[in-house]
Structure 1
Amino acid sequence: MAKVAFIGLGVMGYPMAGHLKTKGGHDVTVWNRTGAKAEKWAGEYGGAAASSPREAAAGREFVFMCVGNDDDVRSVVYGDDGIFAGMERGATLVDNTTASAELARELAEAASEKGFKFVDAPVSGGQAGAENGALTVMCGGAEADFAAAKPVIECYAKMVGLMGPAGSGQLTKMMNQICIAGLVQGLAESIAFGQKAGLDIEKVVSVISKGAAGSWQMENRHKTMNEGHYDHGFAVEWMRKDLGICLAEAKRNGARLPVTALVDQFYAEVEAIGGKRWDTSSLLALLNRN
């Protein structure tokens, strides 16, 4: 049993912290910007709620963090009430936020200067993956730091891998999102085509999903897409944040991402028609507009 803190109890962090307590049996203290949510979590899982990131991190061996973006990370890590102000030498900060590789390297350097360990560990699998403890976790950091954190991370994961030094986890997550963007657009176009052709989408997918066209998106999203239901899953605004990180990194490293840039524009159109919180599969809604 480890002494653990979890910072950020959104749709991902809330169940992830829960698995650390129930599956791992760890001693968990949580903090959330909305204190009532931290109190609710503590009541549900039997852990403790702290009044600040600093208080949550005090005396903890591992501090996990899952917040919104680079600015949110900095706001809870630095400062008098931040995570670093509470951590003790030798403790490890694990950042599950999907953020920039540049920030991961910054945090790794700052942590090292203070005698802390750091692992960037963005996740994939969405809300369902978090709730089921079946996330894929892509990590960056020193091998020894990763090895120590891995057994704890596994409480909410089905796959945990070290991709390289600090920032490598975030770069891997960018590759993941680039793949998803193209896959979802292709699936949306395929379903729109099939609907226009008068085919039974369920029958078609039952066949093509078993071949080279098959994907997680096809298996898990074709039904709701065919029915025009998008009030669930990974929100368009979150995907646009992630794709923005991908495009910014590509600009730095010289990679060409023409399809990713185009799909990001399509998501901007989805937002414009009121789909900011729709699932990413809502790309089909654009194709079906009259």
Structure 2
Amino acid sequence: MARKVGLIGLGLMGSALAQRLIGAGLDVLGFDLDRSKCDELEKKGGRTAASVADVGHSCDVVLIAVLTVDQVEQVVEGENGLAGAERPPTVLCTATCDPERIASLASRCASRGMVFLDTPVSGSSGQVAKGEGLGLVAGDRDEAARCADVIEAIYPRHVYVGPAGDASRAKLAINLALGLNRAALAESLVFAERIGLDPAAFLAIAKQSAAYSQIMDVKGAKMIEGDFAPQGRIVQSRKDFGLILSEAGRVGQRLPMAEILMGLLEGCIENGEGDWDNSAVIQEVRRRHAR
């Protein structure tokens, strides 16, 4: 029989993870508060449960793909959460979260005899669905090895980072670079267009230059074509940069470029673009006319 794997959260990333798991021949039992997302999972060949508790009682490994650490804690420790199962499952948290709270949650789980692995991924939902994301794995190394089939299914490319919390720390530092790269590309494209260059032709040139970054491949065409169908939403980037700036503040470090990008993201949200793809940061750059 196929190994049964639980999946809590069936949004953009959860849907990509489900696609990977089902493609690997695993039996996926999912749950989301949005019934339409459960229906989509069933169309892909997965099954859905009536609650988080049902997933916890039925699966020995459960992936969490929600948005915030508050939601992660609720899924694990809340009423009818995973920790309440007769035999609590091993949890793989794929969400981008506050590292300190993730480390603390992992410690609380361990005190209950429950395994919690910190396993976010670097890559958009589209990249993850294609197996192109980089999984960051932290927590007990032996327990991670016991979940190797699940980790390899969702993250063909993955690295072990260290104790729980370190994968979340690495993810925030990576997201800082990615977010700044997106903003730099957006600004470069707007500048090229304003000074009379064809943006598509300029992008093709830039990809051959020393300025090249993978962001040009992933987000360049979306920025130029105004295709803001979400692979990673503006509100998610805003949440991540809130975590980045909070963590930087905790250690007494200013991040001046991150502070500027936070303003761009908030400008997008104020203009009703929060649920658009994070490449929509170009919209806010375009709005910043000289006075």
Flag whether TM exceeds 0.5 (same fold): yes
Distance in structure 2 (CA, Å) of the matches to 1:174 and 1:40: 30
2:148 is aligned with 1:132: no
Shift of 1:152: 1.0
* 2:22 equivalent in structure 1: 21
SS of residue matched to 2:232? coil
Distance in structure 1 (CA, Å) of the matches to 2:36 and 2:222: 33
* 2:104 equivalent in structure 1: 106
* 2:81 equivalent in structure 1: 82
Shift of 1:66: 0.5
Shift of 1:205: 2.2
Shift of 1:61: 2.2
- Map 1:104-183 to 2 at 5 A: 104-183=102-181
Alpha carbons of structure 1 residues 241 and 118: separation in structure 2 relative to 1, 3 Å: same
**TM-score, normalising length: structure 2:** 0.91
Asked whether the equivalents of residues 122 and 133 of structure 2 are also in contact (C-alpha less than 8 Å), the reply is yes
| Gaps in structure 1 of 5+ consecutive residues | none
Aligned residue pairs: how many? 287
Shift of 1:7: 0.9
* 1:192 equivalent in structure 2: 190
Distance in structure 2 (CA, Å) of the matches to 1:219 and 1:209: 8
Shift of 1:62: 1.0
**TM-score, normalising length: structure 1:** 0.91
* 1:49 equivalent in structure 2: 48
Distance in structure 1 (CA, Å) of the matches to 2:132 and 2:36: 27
SS of residue matched to 2:283? helix
Task: Give 2:239's aligned amino acid.
Answer: K
* 1:246 equivalent in structure 2: 244
Distance in structure 1 (CA, Å) of the matches to 2:231 and 2:36: 24
Distance in structure 2 (CA, Å) of the matches to 1:73 and 1:19: 21
Distance in structure 2 (CA, Å) of the matches to 1:188 and 1:18: 30
Distance in structure 2 (CA, Å) of the matches to 1:135 and 1:97: 14
Alpha carbons of structure 1 residues 92 and 196: separation in structure 2 relative to 1, 3 Å: same
* 1:209 equivalent in structure 2: 207
- Map 1:53-64 to 2 at 5 A: 53-64=52-63
For the aligned residue pairs, the C-alpha RMSD in angstroms reads 1.9
Asked whether the equivalents of residues 60 and 88 of structure 1 are also in contact (C-alpha less than 8 Å), the reply is no
Asked whether the equivalents of residues 60 and 87 of structure 1 are also in contact (C-alpha less than 8 Å), the reply is no
Shift of 1:117: 1.4
Aligned identity (percent) is: 28
What per-residue deviation string (whole Å, max 9, x for no partner) do you get for residues 209-238 of structure 1?
133211121122222322344343321111
Distance in structure 2 (CA, Å) of the matches to 1:206 and 1:185: 18
Asked whether the equivalents of residues 230 and 278 of structure 2 are also in contact (C-alpha less than 8 Å), the reply is no
SS of residue matched to 2:221? helix
Q: Which deviates more from structure 2 when the two are superposed, residues 249-258 or residues 93-102?
A: 249-258
Asked whether the equivalents of residues 11 and 37 of structure 2 are also in contact (C-alpha less than 8 Å), the reply is no
Alpha carbons of structure 1 residues 52 and 199: separation in structure 2 relative to 1, 3 Å: same
What per-residue deviation string (whole Å, max 9, x for no partner) do you get for residues 112-159 of structure 1?
111121111112221212332332211211211222223312212242
Asked whether the equivalents of residues 125 and 136 of structure 1 are also in contact (C-alpha less than 8 Å), the reply is yes
Task: Give 2:249's aligned amino acid.
Answer: K
Asked whether the equivalents of residues 95 and 120 of structure 2 are also in contact (C-alpha less than 8 Å), the reply is yes
Shift of 1:266: 1.3
Distance in structure 2 (CA, Å) of the matches to 1:257 and 1:160: 28
Alpha carbons of structure 1 residues 3 and 229: separation in structure 2 relative to 1, 3 Å: closer
Asked whether the equivalents of residues 59 and 87 of structure 1 are also in contact (C-alpha less than 8 Å), the reply is no
